[in-house]
């Protein structure tokens, strides 16, 4: 190869190299999301712990995961701080499956006045204690209702937005009354964010029963 031909070849390659690099950059896949692992320390990152104080007198702590589903976590925190979930029942509780709440009507048809959320499906599996957003058939119809999984349900993966996990109080979740709706439903007395430092609400004191005396029994028998 003559020096003139070699020089022309090198020059043409140098001209082509930038366009090849540009094409490779355009074809490169987008960076993968940086998902965090669940932190089970109940004293860490209190801004992202949801407390559910139940009518059973038990408290459930849920680790919210903004890196998994930022819009859904923000929605849950907003509604909890508004008191939206206070007094809401677990209206759909299926043994061996999950407990669902977040509907102020208690029918499964209600939600908040905020707009529905776009799905934020992620690769994290629905294991025991996973907390995921309920929705209608439309993937972008989640609003305020959510459910807690009793046992692993991998068929839900990438079909429902998994946004957190129970890190304390799973036994209280197991005690939630079953039914659709239950006859005597378990209720969320208060939902709060741990960073706000709200104490559990006082449970209502049952009315004292009237003592039955001997005179009352005699009067009842004589009637």
CATH code for the domain in which residue 86 is found: 2.40.100.10
Q: Is residue 89 part of a domain?
A: yes
Domain encompassing residue 118: 48-196
Mean pLDDT of 212-220: 62
pLDDT at 78 over 90: yes
Task: Give backbone dihedrals phi and psi of 174, rounded to 5 degrees, phi first.
Answer: -60, -25
Mean pLDDT of 40-56: 97
Q: Is residue 17 part of a domain?
A: no
Mean pLDDT of 24-31: 61
pLDDT of residue 2: 55
Q: Is residue 139 part of a domain?
A: yes
Q: Is residue 100 part of a domain?
A: yes
pLDDT of residue 59: 98
Residue 51: alpha-carbon gap to chain centroid:
12
Q: Is residue 119 part of a domain?
A: yes
**DSSP single-letter state for residue 216:** H
pLDDT at 150 over 70: yes
Mapped onto helix, strand or coil, the DSSP state of residue 142 is strand
What pTM value is reported for the model? 0.79
Q: Is residue 38 part of a domain?
A: no
Q: How many angstroms separate the CA atoms of 31 and 28, rounded?
A: 9
Burial tier of 106 (Cβ tally within 10 Å: 0-12, 13-18, 19+): middle
Q: Is residue 179 part of a domain?
A: yes
Question: How, if at all, do strands 98-101 and 146-149 pair?
Answer: antiparallel
Hey, CA dihedral for 129, 130, 133, 138, is it positive or negative?
Answer: negative
Task: Give backbone dihedrals phi and psi of 13, rounded to 5 degrees, phi first.
Answer: -65, -40
Greatest distance between any 2 Cα atoms in the chain: 131
The total number of structural domains that make up the chain: 1
Q: Is residue 208 part of a domain?
A: no
């Amino acid at each position: 190869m003559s020096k003139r031909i070699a020089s022309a070849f090198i020059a043409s390659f140098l001209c082509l190299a930038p366009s090849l690099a540009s094409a490779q950059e355009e074809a490169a896949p987008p960076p993968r999301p940086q998902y965090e692992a669940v932190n089970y320390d109940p004293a860490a990152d209190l801004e992202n712990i949801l407390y559910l104080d139940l009518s059973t007198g038990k408290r459930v702590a849920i680790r919210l995961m903004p890196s998994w589903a930022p819009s859904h976590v923000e929605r849950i925190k907003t509604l909890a701080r508004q008191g939206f979930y206070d007094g809401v029942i677990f209206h759909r509780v299926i043994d061996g499956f999950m407990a669902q709440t977040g509907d102020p009507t208690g029918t499964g048809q209600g939600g908040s006045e905020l707009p529905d959320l776009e799905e934020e499906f992620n690769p994290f599996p629905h294991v025991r204690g996973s907390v995921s957003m309920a929705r209608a058939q439309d993937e972008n119809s989640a609003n305020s209702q959510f459910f807690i999984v009793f046992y692993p349900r991998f068929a839900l993966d990438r079909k429902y937005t998994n946004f957190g996990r129970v890190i304390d109080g799973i036994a209280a979740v197991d005690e939630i009354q079953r039914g659709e709706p239950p006859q005597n439903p378990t209720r969320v007395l208060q939902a709060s964010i741990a960073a706000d430092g709200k104490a559990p609400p006082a449970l209502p004191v049952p009315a004292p029963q009237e003592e039955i005396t001997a005179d009352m029994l005699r009067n009842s028998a004589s009637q």
